[in-house]
Structure 1
Amino acid sequence: MTTKDLAVTEYTSWGKRTRTEGQISTDLLRGEEQERIATFGDSTSKAFTSTATVGDREWQLSFDIDGTASATLPDGRVFTADPGEKGFSKAKNILIDMDGTQMEAIHEGKGNWIIDDAASQKVAQFTGVNNGMRRAILEFEKGMQLPVDQEVFLSWTTRKTLESRMLGTSWALTIFLVILTPIIVYLMFT
């Protein structure tokens, strides 16, 4: 086995957010070539509806940080990601249903996640460690062949999961600092 055998050859990542005519969008890119496979209408809100253009087809998206993420494809199929009661910011497991194809994103600790299929076989992995949220790279297992629609939905779920966890952490830190500030001021002047 060489280091080339260990190289990740199949992955998706995200381009920078762009704003066109007041609309925020982000491109989903495949592999080292950075081939654009989809463009997602984006929002910084905790809950929103939007669209994505995958190839020449338009998907209807719905996301709620405390609820579910879903994509309705033009042919009527519905893909969902359900983090359960804790929502995306605190979930340890996210159940994914892509029109009958079941998968599960499993938080392994720190910022590391794996995605398993219904037979508990690893399909992909992603991480929020070392600026992983910035590009939200989803690495597929070697030889894994997924339909483009599933690849795109798993990539979007990855991004929304990492963004939600960062937002939850930022919110907790902000509250902590707001509470701590008067205490520090009091201690400085007494």
Structure 2
Amino acid sequence: MTSYTSWGKRFKKEGKLFINLLRGADEEVLATFGEVPSKAFETIAEVDDQKWELSFDIEGTASAKLPDGRTFSANAGEKTFTKSKRIDIDMDGTEMAAINEEKNNWIIDDAQEQKVAQFTGLNNGMRRAILEFEEDAKVAKEQEIFLSWIARKTLESRMLGSSWGLTLFLIVLTPIIIFLTFS
């Protein structure tokens, strides 16, 4: 397995938005995901000419139903994807957890608390949402794809939460600045 995945640029096809999940420096396309700019949505991903049914809700749940009937899920608990420090992941019985170490730095541990991968939102990390796998990590392709999607959705959710906070702060600050400027 190559040591990382990243995301390409969004593109339109038949009026809908899509984005490719890429593996390694040679950017092999692992999957193509339908993009929906919403806090809760259902969409599809195409993996090896097969469709995965995806569901995401910023309030705390994400899932993928694979064509063979397996279900992968992620649960952010009570704090939602925007604020959670731990996201529990179950990939048809293989359990892992995405753990926020500090600010925008995350690791993914397996059930034995061994580090499998890491990702960050720092230094424009959200744009490509690179998920780096440990050299000795044994992760199936389907798991690699799901973990990469969860990493991306986690970073997007946190960015959305930060953007709302900044917007509200500026809305409150604007009248004060205007008042002080003209008084």
Query: TM-score scaled by structure 2?
Result: 0.98
Give the number of aligned pairs.
182
SS at match of 2:68: coil
Which of 143, 146, 152 pairs up with 1:159?
152
Residue type matched to 2:130 in 1? Answer: I
SS at match of 1:151: helix
Q: Which residue of 2 aligns with 1:68?
A: 61
What are the within-5 Å matches in structure 2 for residues 15-164 of structure 1? 15-164=8-157
| Structure 2, unaligned runs of 5 or more | none
Q: Distance in 2 between matches of 1:57 and 1:144?
A: 25
Query: TM-score scaled by structure 1?
Result: 0.94
Q: Distance in 2 between matches of 1:145 and 1:62?
A: 26
Q: Distance in 1 between matches of 2:112 and 2:159?
A: 30
Q: Which residue of 2 aligns with 1:4?
A: none
Deviating 4+ runs (over 6 angstroms)? none
| Structure 1, unaligned runs of 5 or more | 1-8
**RMSD across aligned positions (CA):** 0.8
Q: Distance in 2 between matches of 1:144 and 1:94?
A: 19
SS at match of 2:173: helix
Which of 150, 159, 181 pairs up with 2:174?
181
Residue type matched to 1:71 in 2? Answer: A
Which of 143, 165, 171 pairs up with 2:164?
171
Q: Distance in 2 between matches of 1:157 and 1:126?
A: 11
Q: Distance in 2 between matches of 1:31 and 1:125?
A: 15
